Amino acid sequence: MIEYGLLASVDERDVVHVQSLLTQLSKNAPVHSLKSLREVMRSHMIFVARDTRDAHHPIIGMATLVIIRQLVGVRGRVEDVVVDEAYRRHGVARMLMQNLHRQAIMGGVPLLALSVRAENDAAGELYRSLGYNKGHLEIYTIDLSKS
Protein backbone atom coordinates (compact mmCIF):
# COMPACT_ATOMS: atom_id res chain seq x y z
CA MET A 1 0.00 0.00 0.00
CA ILE A 2 1.21 3.51 -0.78
CA GLU A 3 0.62 6.29 1.76
CA TYR A 4 0.75 9.95 0.82
CA GLY A 5 1.41 12.93 3.05
CA LEU A 6 3.45 15.95 3.92
CA LEU A 7 6.97 15.22 5.12
CA ALA A 8 6.75 16.61 8.66
CA SER A 9 9.84 15.03 10.20
CA VAL A 10 12.84 13.19 8.82
CA ASP A 11 15.47 10.76 9.97
CA GLU A 12 18.69 9.51 8.38
CA ARG A 13 16.83 6.75 6.51
CA ASP A 14 14.57 9.37 4.90
CA VAL A 15 17.63 11.35 3.81
CA VAL A 16 18.93 8.26 2.00
CA HIS A 17 15.57 7.77 0.23
CA VAL A 18 15.30 11.44 -0.76
CA GLN A 19 18.87 11.40 -2.03
CA SER A 20 18.17 8.31 -4.13
CA LEU A 21 15.14 10.03 -5.69
CA LEU A 22 17.06 13.25 -6.35
CA THR A 23 19.79 11.26 -8.09
CA GLN A 24 17.13 9.77 -10.38
CA LEU A 25 15.84 13.27 -11.08
CA SER A 26 19.23 14.82 -11.80
CA LYS A 27 22.77 13.50 -12.01
CA ASN A 28 23.90 16.86 -10.62
CA ALA A 29 21.67 16.75 -7.53
CA PRO A 30 23.35 18.10 -4.41
CA VAL A 31 24.06 15.69 -1.59
CA HIS A 32 21.83 16.37 1.41
CA SER A 33 22.43 15.81 5.07
CA LEU A 34 19.77 15.55 7.74
CA LYS A 35 20.45 19.18 8.60
CA SER A 36 20.19 20.47 5.01
CA LEU A 37 16.98 18.53 4.35
CA ARG A 38 15.42 19.96 7.51
CA GLU A 39 16.48 23.42 6.35
CA VAL A 40 14.63 22.93 3.04
CA MET A 41 11.58 21.67 4.93
CA ARG A 42 11.37 24.96 6.87
CA SER A 43 10.54 26.93 3.72
CA HIS A 44 9.15 24.29 1.35
CA MET A 45 6.41 21.68 1.66
CA ILE A 46 7.64 18.27 0.57
CA PHE A 47 4.91 15.77 -0.25
CA VAL A 48 5.97 12.14 -0.15
CA ALA A 49 4.69 8.72 -1.08
CA ARG A 50 5.79 5.84 1.14
CA ASP A 51 5.56 2.13 0.45
CA THR A 52 4.03 0.80 3.67
CA ARG A 53 4.45 -2.80 2.51
CA ASP A 54 8.15 -2.41 3.26
CA ALA A 55 9.01 -2.51 6.98
CA HIS A 56 11.07 0.69 6.66
CA HIS A 57 8.30 2.62 4.82
CA PRO A 58 10.72 4.03 2.22
CA ILE A 59 9.95 7.27 0.43
CA ILE A 60 9.28 6.17 -3.15
CA GLY A 61 8.12 9.51 -4.57
CA MET A 62 8.06 13.20 -3.75
CA ALA A 63 6.97 16.61 -4.97
CA THR A 64 7.82 19.99 -3.48
CA LEU A 65 5.52 23.00 -3.15
CA VAL A 66 7.10 26.41 -2.79
CA ILE A 67 4.72 29.24 -1.90
CA ILE A 68 6.13 32.65 -2.73
CA ARG A 69 4.54 35.79 -1.32
CA GLN A 70 5.53 38.67 -3.57
CA LEU A 71 4.50 42.28 -3.94
CA VAL A 72 2.44 41.27 -6.97
CA GLY A 73 0.65 38.47 -5.10
CA VAL A 74 0.96 34.88 -4.02
CA ARG A 75 2.57 32.44 -6.43
CA GLY A 76 3.29 28.76 -6.21
CA ARG A 77 6.03 26.65 -7.74
CA VAL A 78 6.18 22.89 -8.05
CA GLU A 79 9.70 21.51 -7.81
CA ASP A 80 11.49 18.18 -7.60
CA VAL A 81 8.69 15.87 -8.72
CA VAL A 82 10.14 12.38 -8.90
CA VAL A 83 9.00 8.81 -8.42
CA ASP A 84 11.36 5.88 -7.99
CA GLU A 85 11.82 4.03 -11.27
CA ALA A 86 10.30 0.84 -9.83
CA TYR A 87 7.02 2.65 -9.03
CA ARG A 88 6.55 4.78 -12.13
CA ARG A 89 3.40 4.60 -14.27
CA HIS A 90 1.25 3.51 -11.31
CA GLY A 91 -0.36 6.85 -10.42
CA VAL A 92 2.09 7.84 -7.68
CA ALA A 93 3.05 11.19 -9.24
CA ARG A 94 -0.62 12.00 -9.94
CA MET A 95 -1.55 11.41 -6.28
CA LEU A 96 1.41 13.47 -5.09
CA MET A 97 0.38 16.32 -7.36
CA GLN A 98 -3.26 16.14 -6.25
CA ASN A 99 -2.18 16.36 -2.60
CA LEU A 100 0.09 19.26 -3.46
CA HIS A 101 -2.76 21.03 -5.30
CA ARG A 102 -5.04 20.74 -2.25
CA GLN A 103 -2.38 22.27 -0.02
CA ALA A 104 -1.73 25.08 -2.51
CA ILE A 105 -5.44 25.93 -2.57
CA MET A 106 -5.55 25.98 1.24
CA GLY A 107 -2.48 28.25 1.16
CA GLY A 108 -4.26 30.78 -1.07
CA VAL A 109 -2.18 30.05 -4.15
CA PRO A 110 -4.15 31.09 -7.28
CA LEU A 111 -1.62 29.82 -9.83
CA LEU A 112 0.98 27.09 -9.84
CA ALA A 113 3.97 26.94 -12.18
CA LEU A 114 6.46 24.23 -12.89
CA SER A 115 9.11 23.46 -15.44
CA VAL A 116 9.80 20.17 -17.17
CA ARG A 117 12.55 19.05 -19.48
CA ALA A 118 11.36 19.09 -23.08
CA GLU A 119 12.38 15.46 -23.59
CA ASN A 120 10.40 14.26 -20.54
CA ASP A 121 7.25 13.29 -22.45
CA ALA A 122 5.75 11.27 -19.59
CA ALA A 123 5.91 14.24 -17.21
CA GLY A 124 4.48 16.60 -19.82
CA GLU A 125 1.62 14.18 -20.42
CA LEU A 126 0.91 13.96 -16.68
CA TYR A 127 0.92 17.74 -16.19
CA ARG A 128 -1.38 18.31 -19.17
CA SER A 129 -3.77 15.67 -17.84
CA LEU A 130 -3.83 17.55 -14.51
CA GLY A 131 -4.80 20.79 -16.28
CA TYR A 132 -1.43 22.48 -16.71
CA ASN A 133 -0.92 24.52 -19.86
CA LYS A 134 2.34 25.38 -21.54
CA GLY A 135 3.25 28.94 -20.60
CA HIS A 136 4.62 31.66 -22.78
CA LEU A 137 7.64 32.55 -20.67
CA GLU A 138 11.21 31.84 -21.61
CA ILE A 139 13.40 30.64 -18.78
CA TYR A 140 16.86 32.16 -18.46
CA THR A 141 19.53 30.70 -16.19
CA ILE A 142 23.01 31.74 -15.11
CA ASP A 143 25.59 29.50 -13.49
CA LEU A 144 26.90 31.66 -10.65
CA SER A 145 29.24 28.92 -9.46
CA LYS A 146 31.58 29.84 -12.31
CA SER A 147 31.86 33.51 -11.27
pLDDT (tens digit per residue) in 77-103: 999 999 999 999 999 999 999 999 999
Which domains, from first to last, does the chain contain?
Answer: 2-113 (3.40.630.30)
Q: What is the mean pLDDT of residues 52-60?
A: 90
Q: What is the mean pLDDT of residues 109-127?
A: 92
Q: Strand 59-70 relative to strand 73-83: parallel, antiparallel, unpaired?
A: antiparallel
pLDDT of residue 124: 92
pLDDT of residue 147: 75
The predicted model scores a pTM of 0.89
Torsion of CA 8, 48, 120, 137, to 10 degrees: -40
DSSP H helices, 32-91, are 34-43
